[in-house]
Structure 1
Amino acid sequence: MYGKEIKNSTLTAAGFFFDNEIGSRESPGFLKRVGTGRAQVAANVSIDLMNQERVLLNGCNVKLTAYPNKSEFLVEAYNFGNQEFKFNVRDVYALVNEFDLTDALTNELEREILQHKMIQYPMISAQVRSFYIDPNRYDAPANTLFTSKMPRRLFLGLVSSEAYNGSFGTSPFDFKPYDLTDVHIDYCGQTLPGRPMDLDFANNKFIEAYVQLQETLGHTRNNFSCNSIDVDMFRSKGFTIFGFELSPVAVNNSIFELIRQTNVSVRLNFKSLTPKGGLYCVVYAEFDHIMNLDPLRNPMMDSVSY
């Protein structure tokens, strides 16, 4: 969702360098990242609470716990054969912005909290699901991913089983089309898209899916933002990601929609048999979410599960 200027400037502090082809040892981004030894990076904590704009009240007890994946998943080593590497974290610390309020403002804030009994933090909650597709199949029958609450929008992509489980010679972000012909999202008695896409990547018939991805990201409705994914990258360079807007306010984070309880499932069809080892379909979905804090700073979350 970041533009090319941000990717080539601010995000480099996080160790990000843009790849024009995922999984290629010749990609400029990979060549800039390549190397062994120590590196220092800084990045925003990308979790729901940190991605919303409101400031936390004083006196909140916040504990962050990170669980790193295995080294085979984290390290890209396309040009080292069977050599193994180890990803070690030597030191971690957090930089926190703190605001000093005047006594009058602090007292007024506490009075409002006691009067209204609750302070709310609306946010967009991201959920990730995945399911396995057996080898030698022409389709993936309906897989129910979310069983109660309708997401705003969702994105999905296909990755090899080896890359999904982690290996030094593959990238877990290498999303390829794998001769996919149709993607169907079933929810609330509806199906997206309204008609079959009838994709054929080998014969350059995929532009509808590409435009739909950009629409879901909100880039086709303005002329000042982009995500740097061009048509060729979407077709065969590891950026084959499908986007679907389920809510009419999918790209407007300032508006919440009424909760709609439903099951959301995905169906896939392929032109040729799925490869040896099988595939994983990775689905990223966004939901409306509200966190409440009472006067004692106890958090309370939405009761609707995903």
Structure 2
Amino acid sequence: MRAFMVNAGRTEFSQNLFTSFVPRRLIFGLVKQTAFVGNDAVNPFNFEPHGLREFEISAGGKRFPYEKYKMDFANGNAVQPYVDMYHALGQHFNTSNCGVTYKQFKNGWTIFVVDLTASQDETSGFELVQNGSTDIRLEFSEAVPAGGLELVVMAEFDELMSIDNQRRIKFES
């Protein structure tokens, strides 16, 4: 997990997230900076969209999502990232799900989940570990509010474990 400060007044934000290996999945959200640092009066788990209009993730030389979302949370236009969240979690055809409704997603449960695998299919299948950097770019329809925001990012990485003929265990990221 990593967190990055997004200063007040900005309408764009770019950040290098990881430099060595490309994650399998990236999960991120925006929370008020005051809540992140421990202000008891503000909920640190209230991940609102804060006017986020577009985002782009560059990982291992590829861009995700392939087509940019054109989000407008104020007018209810956020269906594609909501559906893609379920797809990236492997819950799009399951009867069990993470329990986040579309209404919740738009109002404080706004967590973006991006599948960065080559197959774009969340399975337990084997994917080669990719070298490369991972960057994120955010565009806001309005300036970041006073006090700023915190971009909270969680990444899942694959790791390969092998045991040689002398029973030595070796881990590779």
How far off is 1:299 after superposition?
A: 6.5
Question: Superposition RMSD on alpha carbons, in Å?
Answer: 2.2
Match of 1:203 in 2: 75
Match of 1:134 in 2: 7
Counterpart among 19, 32, 35 of residue 160 in structure 1: 32
1:179-228 per-residue CA deviation (whole Å, 9 max, x = no partner) reads: 100010011222111222111100111101111111111111x2322111
Amino acid at match of 1:235: K
How far off is 1:293 after superposition?
A: 7.4
Going from structure 1 to structure 2, the CA distance change for 1:130 and 1:177 (only over 3 Å counts) comes to: same
Unpaired stretches in structure 2, ≥5 consecutive residues? none
Asked if the contact 1:249–1:257 (Cα under 8 Å) also holds between the matched residues in 2, the reply is no
In structure 2, the residue corresponding to 1:243 is in which secondary structure? strand
In terms of fraction of residues, the more helix-rich structure is 1
Aligned length: 172
- Higher-Rg member (1/2): 1
In structure 1, the residue corresponding to 2:74 is in which secondary structure? helix
Percent of aligned pairs sharing the same letter: 35
Going from structure 1 to structure 2, the CA distance change for 1:249 and 1:178 (only over 3 Å counts) comes to: closer
Amino acid at match of 2:6: I
TM-score by length of 1: 0.52
The answer as to 2:72 corresponding to 1:186 is no
Asked if the contact 1:156–1:281 (Cα under 8 Å) also holds between the matched residues in 2, the reply is yes
How far off is 1:283 after superposition?
A: 0.9
Question: Whole-Å Cα distance in 1 between the matches of residues 3 and 121 of structure 2?
Answer: 21
Asked if the contact 1:157–1:242 (Cα under 8 Å) also holds between the matched residues in 2, the reply is yes
Any runs of at least 4 consecutive aligned residues in structure 1 with deviations exceeding 4 A, and if so which? 291-294, 297-300
Query: What are the within-5 Å matches in structure 2 for residues 140-155 of structure 1?
Result: 140-141=13-14, 143-155=15-27
Match of 1:113 in 2: none
Question: Whole-Å Cα distance in 2 between the matches of residues 293 and 167 of structure 1?
Answer: 48
Asked if the contact 1:293–1:300 (Cα under 8 Å) also holds between the matched residues in 2, the reply is yes
In terms of fraction of residues, the more strand-rich structure is 2
Unpaired stretches in structure 1, ≥5 consecutive residues? 1-127
Asked if the contact 1:249–1:256 (Cα under 8 Å) also holds between the matched residues in 2, the reply is no
In structure 2, the residue corresponding to 1:209 is in which secondary structure? helix
Amino acid at match of 1:263: S
Question: Whole-Å Cα distance in 2 between the matches of residues 256 and 174 of structure 1?
Answer: 35
The answer as to 2:99 corresponding to 1:223 is no
In structure 2, the residue corresponding to 1:195 is in which secondary structure? coil
Match of 1:287 in 2: 157
Going from structure 1 to structure 2, the CA distance change for 1:194 and 1:292 (only over 3 Å counts) comes to: closer
Asked if the contact 1:256–1:288 (Cα under 8 Å) also holds between the matched residues in 2, the reply is no
Match of 1:233 in 2: 104
Going from structure 1 to structure 2, the CA distance change for 1:298 and 1:168 (only over 3 Å counts) comes to: farther
How far off is 1:300 after superposition?
A: 4.8
Counterpart among 160, 164, 170 of residue 42 in structure 2: 170
Going from structure 1 to structure 2, the CA distance change for 1:299 and 1:169 (only over 3 Å counts) comes to: farther
